[in-house]
Amino acid sequence: MPTMNIIEAVRDALRMQMRADKRVVVLGEDVGKFGGVFRATSGLFDEFGGERVIDTPLAEAGIIGTAIGMALYGLRPVPEIQFGDFIFPAFDQIVNELAKFRYRSGGQYPCPVVIRTPVGGGIRGGHYHSQSPETLFIHTPGLKVVAPSNPYDAKGLLLACMRQNDPVLFMEPKRIYRASKGEVPEGDYVLEIGKASVTREGSQVTLLAWSGMVSIADETAKQAEAAGISVEVVDLRTLMPFDIDTILTSVKKTGRCVIVHEAPRTCGFGAELIASIQERAMEYLEAPIMRVTGFDTPFPYSLEHEYMPNPDRVLGAIRQTLEW
């Protein structure tokens, strides 16, 4: 079984599905001969040509609007938004058009568009290349939001997304695009959309994370174990729909929960998770649920590592829950 990083796993999934289904097309800024700014589409232009790997103008609303039209006429487009921060010019197309076609047509017109975009900080990109806007799209009925944290999940989830009929925002953690490596099957496999993964078993505290924060959660759990604290790590993988059953099973077992996300704290997805847990499992909680998040400021350039959650901050929250 080959070892891949996330970029290679994404490229492998795209190539596999493009070979299997001639309706799949890739479009976006520099995705063709250049292979994308992160090289996720490298080599696809040479294999599939300019009619299926399409370089577009620098116009995000146009990219998504074009993809919507393609999908309504029977294609299965996979547009790339070069950075998650640049998705906002296309916000109206995504929220008011893409997310609503299936509903407004009574199910007659599904719109199977899978929007790939890198998100998060950690590459010294400053406030225009480091944001984590997942909550804005989780809040939009009609969209699925997927956030893999490793190569195996990235390939299996992307293949699953390209084979179903709902629009998906597929958010890739660019900080660990190449740093996260693992064994990935060469062949075909899919992972269930809406199913979380328990990446580490534990008994005292549940740690919920997704995307680039899963590696932070895993490192924190190792440090906690060295201090005699047993932490269970749950990688959500899919944010909408999210796997409330796996979350509740873990929280009921441990009685405590800490949520880690890179986006700002106020109205972040962690708040929804807290509400969902407390509505269903209040009697099992031994302490308030804690959040370790980014701050309610624009993403800073020179202080990005102070902004982003790290194991020290997460371990501090774990200790707070245990001392309650």
pLDDT in tens, 294-310: 999 999 998 999 999 99
129 is catalytic: yes
**Residue 289, domain member (yes or no):** yes
| 124 and 214 housed in the same domain | no
Domain shared by 163 and 295, yes or no: no
Is there a single domain that holds both residue 54 and residue 142?
A: yes
pLDDT of residue 142: 97
| The pLDDT value given to residue 1 | 85
Instruction: Produce one character per residue of 197-219: b if its CB has 16 or more CB atoms within 10 Å, e if not.
Output: bebbebebbbbbbbbbbbbbbbe
CA distances from 107 to 102, 104, 142, 165 (A): 5, 8, 12, 10
Report the alpha-carbon distance of residue 279 to residue 22 in Å, rounded. 45
Tell me, rounded to whole angstroms, the distance of Cα 50 from its chain centroid.
28
> Which two tokens mark 85?
């921060």
The predicted pLDDT at position 123 comes to: 87
Q: Is residue 192 part of a domain?
A: no
CATH number for position 124: 3.40.50.970
Q: Based on the fold, state whether residues 32 and 113 are members of the same structural domain.
A: yes
- The catalytic position among 127, 129, 139, 305 is 129
| Structural domain range at position 234 | 197-323
CATH of the domain at 315: 3.40.50.920
Interatomic CA distance for residues 277 and 217, integer angstroms: 19
The predicted pLDDT at position 125 comes to 87
* Same domain for 165 and 29: yes
Q: What is the pLDDT of residue 277?
A: 98
How far is the CA of 98 from the CAs of 33, 107, 160, in angstroms? 28, 13, 19
Same domain membership, residue 162 and residue 213: no
Instruction: Please count the CA atoms within 13 angstroms of the CA of 185 that sit on its side-chain side.
Output: 8
Based on the domain organization, do 44 and 13 belong to the same domain?
yes
Q: Alpha carbon of 220 to those of 207, 239, 251, 313: distances in Å?
A: 9, 22, 18, 9
Give the whole-angstrom CA distance, residue 225 versus residue 318: 12
Contact 91, 63 (CB under 8 A): no
Concatenated DSSP letters for 103-156?
Answer: HHTTTS-----EEEEEE--SSS-GGGS----HHHHHTSTT-EEE---SHHHHHH
Q: How many CB atoms lie within 10 A of CB 306?
A: 10
The dihedral formed by the CA atoms of 64, 67, 72 and 75, expressed in degrees to the nearest 10: -160
- Any idea which residue has 């116009």 for tokens? 59
Residues 107, 165, single domain; the answer is yes
How many domains is the chain built from? 2
Closest CA to 119 of 308, 321, 324, 320: 308
pLDDT in tens, the chain (324 residues): 899 999 999 999 999 999 999 999 999 999 999 999 999 999 999 999 999 999 999 999 999 999 999 999 999 999 999 999 999 999 999 999 999 999 999 999 999 999 999 999 988 888 899 999 999 999 999 999 999 999 999 999 999 999 999 999 999 999 999 999 999 999 999 999 999 999 999 999 999 999 999 999 999 999 999 999 999 999 999 999 999 999 999 999 999 999 999 999 999 999 999 999 999 999 999 999 999 999 999 999 989 999 999 999 999 999 999 999
Q: Residue 190: inside a domain, yes or no? A: no
CB 119 within 8 A of CB 174: yes
